[in-house]
Amino acid sequence: MNKILLLLALIFIVAGAKAQDRVFTYTYQSGVLNKGQKEIEVWSTLSGGRNNFYKGLDHKLEFEIGLGGKLQTSFYLNYGTSSAVVEDNGIQILSNSTDYSFSNEWKLKLSDPVANRIGSALYFEYSLAPTETAFEGKLILDKQIGKFTHAFNLVGEYEIEHGFTPDGNKLRSENEGEFTLELNYGLSYKVKDHFSLGLEAMNQNPVSDSKWENSVLLMGPALSYSTNGFWINLTCMPQIANLKGGGLELNDHERLQTRLIFSYEF
């Protein structure tokens, strides 16, 4: 009897610890936290390499909580800083900027990647910043087959920039919107019990003023380590091509993005 109780306890602990393990940094999986479970995630994304000098570093501090009914919500505090060479009256100068924002996400799990034919979830997020409002939706699909994990995301994001332009002796408010269709795919193989190695790909398609601007493809290796209540993921994705126009798109997109996320469940 004691052995049975011990086995049930171990199963419960492992199931709880594995509820939200993820093996990718850009591509989301369908798993959600169980009711009452909480998780802290720390994100750091380094990007750089444009036609003119550019370096960007973005941080996120995320608090997640499981609400039950296969639903979870998260709250983010976002901080970003960047340095870029810009042209002012024909003179190139180094410009530095800092951004702050708040985000809230909701994620509903529809099916499981192991128990069902395919795992799935719906995701919605909104972000608020002093000069920008953004809305993002995702369709999340994933499947676990043996030691392999596949995940695919169809993402739509709409950003509205708020600003002012001179209008005689007054300033006139001006809002400019941009829609981005993004496709994410991740493939991971569990090398050992706690370590996974894989690949991530991301295709970004911004549309502004009804014009499809470019189609940037990034792809690179993904590493993941997880243990009970803790995981850490790293993905390094260089830009592979601009599928609309050829070559690389280095005016508004970077040559390289690297993202690190670590999480602690409590």
Q: What is the pLDDT of residue 191?
A: 96
Q: What is the pLDDT of residue 5?
A: 38
- More confident position, 2 or 151: 151
Mean pLDDT, the chain, whole residue set: 89
Q: What is the pLDDT of residues 210-245, one digit of tens each?
A: 899 999 999 999 999 999 889 999 999 999 999 998
Q: What is the pLDDT of residue 94?
A: 84
d(CA 121, CA 142): 9
Q: What is the pLDDT of residue 13?
A: 39
Q: Check whether 253 has a pLDDT greater than 70.
A: yes
Q: What is the pLDDT of residues 8-43, one digit of tens each?
A: 333 333 434 444 579 999 999 999 999 999 999 999
Q: What are the boundaries of each domain within the chain? A: 2-265
d(CA 60, CA 63): 10
Q: Check whether 163 has a pLDDT greater than 90.
A: no
Q: Are 172 and 159 in contact (CB under 8 A)?
A: no
Q: pLDDT-derived band of residue 57, with 50, 70 and 90 as boundaries?
A: very high
Q: What is the pLDDT of residue 224?
A: 97
Q: Check whether 136 has a pLDDT greater than 70.
A: yes
* DSSP secondary structure letters along 112-173: -TTTSSSEEEEEEEEEEETTEEEEEEEEEEEEEETTEEEEEEEEEEEEEEEEEEEETTEEEE
- Domain 2-265 falls in which CATH fold? Porin (2.40.160)
If one counts every other C-beta atom within 10 angstroms of the C-beta of residue 23, the result is: 28
Percent of the chain with pLDDT over 90: 76
Give me the residues paired with residue 166 across strands. 171
- More confident position, 172 or 264: 264
Q: What is the pLDDT of residues 179-205, one digit of tens each?
A: 999 999 999 999 998 999 999 999 999
**Among 126, 146, 124, which residue's Cα sits nearest to residue 28?**
124
Q: What is the pLDDT of residue 7?
A: 39
CB contact set of 89 (below 8 Å; sequence gap of 6+): none
Q: What is the pLDDT of residue 36?
A: 95
